[in-house]
Amino acid sequence: MTDRPRTAIFLPVFGELADPGLVAELGAEAEAAGWDGLFVWDHMLYRAPVSDIADPWVTLAAVAAATTRLRIGPMVTPVPRRRPHKLARETASLDRLSRGRLIFGAGLGGDPGRELSALGEETDPVARGRLLDEGLELLVRLWSAEEVTHHGAAYVADGVVFRPPPVQQPRIPVWLGARHGFRYPLRRAARYDGVFPIGLPAPGDLTDMLKLVAAHRPAGAGAFDVAVQGTIDADPRPWVDAGATWWLVRFEPFTVTAAEVQDAIGRRPSLG
C-alpha cells in the first residue's frame, strides 16, 4: 500500500480535452494544487456524441513534460488491441521521459462505440483474456532489458533485447482493471501491483474484492494499490476505510470541459 491515500484527476480525453497541450496545462495546475496523479482514458472510438478523441500516449507525454511530480498513466489500456512490443517501447520511453512516474493501467477493454468490432479487433472476452495474460507476460519481460525469447499462442519475440529499460525497477507498476462481479480479473490483479475496480456499488463491495485479491496474492509480493473512482462531490473516506489507496476524480465523458476540470482541481479532497 502507499504511505497515505492519494488523489488523482481522471480525464476522458474527449471533446475539448482532445488537445494534449490543454491536458498538459491542466496537469501542471493539478500538480501545483497538490494532486498526486493524472490518469487518462484510452479509447480509439466512443459512443455518440463523442467524436474528438486524443491519443493517450501523446497526451501523457505532454503531461510528463509539463510536470515533475505527478504520477501518470492510462486507465486502462486494452492490451488485447495492442502489440506488446510496441507497448513496451512506448511505456519504457514514457517512464524515462517522466523520470519514473508512469503507472500502467491494463485491462480487457470493451466495445463502446464499436471500437473493437468496427476496427476488426477481437471481441470475444475469453479470447481477449488470453491475449491480455500473454501480452502482459511478454511486456514485463521486454521491460527487463534482458534477452527475451517467447513463442506463444499470439505473440513472438525471438531473442530480442529492448533497451533502454524503464527507470522504475523491477518494473513499471501494473494496475489491472476489474469489473465488479467478476472473479478472474481479481486473481489476475493479485499477480501485479494494483487494481482499478469498475462498477462498485458500495464500499463493502470493495472490501469483498480485496479479500479475494489477498487470497491470491503471492507471499512477499510487496505494495499493492487500490484505485477507486468517484466524482469531486463524493465522499472518498468510506472508500479509503474499505481499502482504497488512490481516489480518482472522474468526469462525465460526454460533457467534460476544461473549466469543469479546473474547478475540481481547486477542490482537491484531503485524505489525511
| Model confidence pLDDT, tens digit, residues 118-145 | 999 999 999 999 999 999 999 999 999 9
Nearest Cα neighbor of 9 from 59, 81, 45 is 59
Helix (H, G, I), strand (E, B) or coil at 63: helix
CB 37, CB 6: distance < 8 Å: yes
| 72: pLDDT strictly greater than 80 | yes
In order of start, what are the domains of the chain with their CATH numbers?
Answer: 6-265 (3.20.20.30)
Task: Please provide the average confidence, as pLDDT, over all residues in the chain.
Answer: 96
30: confidence class by pLDDT, cuts 50, 70, 90? very high
pLDDT of residue 70: 98
**What is the C-alpha to C-alpha distance for residues 92 and 100, in angstroms, rounded to an integer?**
9
14: confidence class by pLDDT, cuts 50, 70, 90? very high
CB 39, CB 271: distance < 8 Å: no
Mean of pLDDT values over 202-227:
94
Q: Cell 517512464 appears where?
A: 95
221: confidence class by pLDDT, cuts 50, 70, 90? confident
CB 186, CB 206: distance < 8 Å: no
Mean of pLDDT values over 205-215:
95
**What is the C-alpha to C-alpha distance for residues 169 and 143, in angstroms, rounded to an integer?**
9
4: confidence class by pLDDT, cuts 50, 70, 90? confident
pTM of the model: 0.96
pLDDT of residue 272: 65
271: confidence class by pLDDT, cuts 50, 70, 90? confident
**What is the C-alpha to C-alpha distance for residues 26 and 45, in angstroms, rounded to an integer?**
23
Q: Where are the alpha helices (DSSP H) in 37-124?
A: 56-66, 84-97
CB 60, CB 95: distance < 8 Å: no
User: ∠ CA(224), CA(226), CA(228), 5° rounding?
Assistant: 170
Over residues 48-58, the pLDDT tens digits come to 999 999 999 99
